A and B are shown apart, each in its own frame.
Chain A
Amino acid sequence: MKEKNSQHWASDPEKVEAFVLHRIDESERVFCTTHLNQCEECRRAVQEERELVAGIRYVGRKEMKLRLKQWIQRGQGKRFDWIQAASLAAAIILMLGAVFTIRWFTDFNQSKTRSHEIVLKSDDSSQRSLWIIGKVVEQKRVFRGTVSENSSSFIIKQGNVTRTVSIRSALTAELPLSMRTSGESNLQTLFERNQDGLQLTIYTSTTPNSVTTGIEAVTADSLIVYFRGRQIAYYIPGGWAGKM
């Protein structure tokens, strides 16, 4: 009896799920399939799991198609909602893979257009960073939130997830020419993922001794920072949870 049960692999729900989701290796798959050909009971269990997954996926696809329809209807040049803070769907992180330079020229509350995109291919795959150009929304900003002097570290909380965001500044002169931004309204910024969150390095033409910083707002795909009397908006391509 015991021996028989050990063969009925589909009596283990986790196994059934792994089998249906193709998450078992080939040799095990062969074993499982061989047994299925002989066992009505296990076959039924697998079939039920498949139906469950198929049903869930139909729901997902239908929803996605609906969303796509809406985007198509809305057409291009959608407005970029900076302050829809309700859905900070994910906390800050997950900037994996290649190093990106993406220049977004974003007009506050207006449509955004991407001017050009370059990849900085790095051999070091452990490097997890993203270059984003911050748009200075306000040059002389009075900020009443939590302001941090020098330490420039902030905790962002969403649900049970807590992340630290720290901000520092560096000199534009340190950047290769091709990456420097001109004018006072675009600030090249490096977003780097580290163990407990995110490190922002904002490149400016001068670095004073003390830097006053703050976080004004975070939405699903944006960050608004208070930095030395300026309000700077960042659009995060793909949002915080985006995988790279």
Chain B
Amino acid sequence: MQTPLFFLNDDSKLLDALRNGNDQVLAELFQKNRRPIISLVLRNQGTEDDAEDILQEALVVLWEKIRSGSFEYQAKLSTYIYATAKNIWFRRLARRRRELPAANEAFEVAAEDATPQEELEENERVTAVQHAMEQIGNPCRDILLLYYWEEQSMEEIALKLGFANADTVKSKKYQCKKILERLVKKVLGGNNEQ
């Protein structure tokens, strides 16, 4: 076997672990990046709790990017995490100044969609979807999360959830989406009748 051997740097080990589904590595990244984020937040009108909270959100953003394959490894991982956390923190500060309810800023950063995320966040229907997801139960909940959030393929979902094949998942997903839409309507209908 004439294959070269070389050692991976720390970042690629962690990235590989995350790509392999070893999600608990995030806890390691949390410990590694905690100090600089705390000092950033303390310097900018926040507390240690704030710092830990936004770091967690930044790590979820990272995780999501890696999972969906949209993470491009350019800077050091710690640099990326710092930049993301900083971004989240300043959004949160801006929000506080506007006296808006603080929640999910990270998730604005995460989705660079055409629709402004702030618009989505305060959107009644998005909230209704969250409520509907609480009601829908499994396997629909899992299927919808794996497909729309983790962006896994039908094949991967079939394997993970023990369905016969991709086609089975596809039709199940279709049904689940319909059920979710019905539940959303119900939730919204309930709100409007107040």
Report which A residues bind B (CB closer than 8 A): 21, 47-48, 50-61, 63-65, 67-69, 71-72, 74-76, 78, 89-91, 93-94, 99, 116-122, 158-161, 176, 178, 237-239, 241-244
Q: Which of B25-46 contact A (CB under 8 A)?
A: 26-28, 30-31
Please state if B128 and A61 are interface contacts (CB–CB under 8 Å).
Answer: no
Q: Judge whether A57 and B148 touch: CB under 8 Å.
A: yes
Q: Which of B130, B133, B162, B177 is A161 in contact with, Cβ under 8 Å?
A: B162
Per DSSP, are chain B's interface residues mostly helix, strand or loop, or mixed? helix
Asked if A52 contacts B162 (CB within 8 A), the reply is no
Interface of A is mostly: mixed
Pairwise interchain contact A57-B107, C-beta atoms closer than 8 A: yes
Q: Which residues of B contact A122 (CB under 8 A)?
A: 3
Contact with A along B157-170 (1 / 0, CB 8 A): 01111111000100
Residues of B contacting A47 in the complex (Cβ-Cβ under 8 angstroms): 115
CB distance from B92 to the nearest CB of A (A): 14
**Contact B133–A59 (Cβ < 8 Å):** yes
A51 & B30 in contact (Cβ 8 Å cutoff): no
On whether the beta carbons of A51 and B120 are closer than 8 Å, the reply is yes
Contact B111 A120 (CB under 8 A): no
Query: Given A55-B129, A57-B107, A241-B159, are A68 and B17 neighbors across the interface (CB < 8 Å)?
Result: no
* B85 is an interface residue with CB less than 8 A from chain A: no
The residue that A68 contacts in the complex, of B20, B26, B125, with Cβ under 8 A, is B26
B115: A residues at CB distance < 8 A: 47, 50
Q: Are B159 and A54 in contact (CB under 8 A)?
A: no
Residue of A nearest to B26 (CB): A68
**Interface pair B23/A67, CB less than 8 Å apart:** yes
In the assembled complex, B151 has its CB within 8 A of some CB on chain A: yes
Known A-B contacts A56-B145, A61-B60, A178-B5; A78 and B22 likewise in contact (beta carbons under 8 Å):
no
Q: A168 CA to B115 CA in the complex, in Å?
A: 55
* Chain B residues near A159 (CB-CB < 8 A): 161-163
Q: Does B75 contact A (CB under 8 A)?
A: no
A120 to B3, CA, bound (A): 6
Q: Give the top 9 A-B pairs by smallest Cβ distance, nearest first.
A: A159-B162, A55-B129, A238-B20, A60-B149, A242-B21, A242-B20, A71-B27, A238-B21, A160-B164
From B21, B57, B104, B162, give the contact of A160 (CB < 8 A): B162
| B129 and A78 contacting across the interface, CB-CB below 8 Å | no
| Per-residue contact bits, chain B 113-151, to A (CB 8 Å; 1 contact, 0 not) | 101010010010111111011000000000011001111
Q: Which of B8, B19, B126 contacts A243 (CB 8 A)?
A: B19
Contact A56 B133 (CB under 8 A): yes
Q: Are B21 and A243 interface neighbours, CB within 8 A?
A: yes
Q: Which residues of A contact B181 (CB under 8 A)?
A: 52
Q: Contact check: which of A60, A68, A121, A238 meets B3 at CB < 8 Å? A: A121
Taken together as a complex, chains A and B put the C-alpha atoms of A194 and B60 apart, in Å, by 33
Which A residues lie within 8 Å of B156 (CB)? 94, 241, 243
Is B101 an interface residue, CB under 8 A from the partner?
no
Given the known A-B contacts A161-B158, A178-B5, are A56 and B148 also in contact in the complex, defined by CB atoms under 8 Å?
A: yes
A146 to B99, CA, bound (A): 65
> Which one of B60, B151, B162 lies within 8 Å of A64 (CB-CB)?
B60
Which B residues touch A116, using CB under 8 A?
A: 7
Q: Which of A65, A120, A243 contacts B60 (CB 8 A)?
A: A65
Q: How far is the CB of A178 from chain B (nearest CB, A)?
A: 7
Query: Would you call B88 an interface residue if the criterion is a C-beta within 8 Å of the partner chain's C-beta atoms?
Result: no
User: Which residues of A have CB within 8 Å of B164?
Assistant: 160-161
Per the bound structure, the CA–CA distance linking A231 and B168 in Å amounts to 37
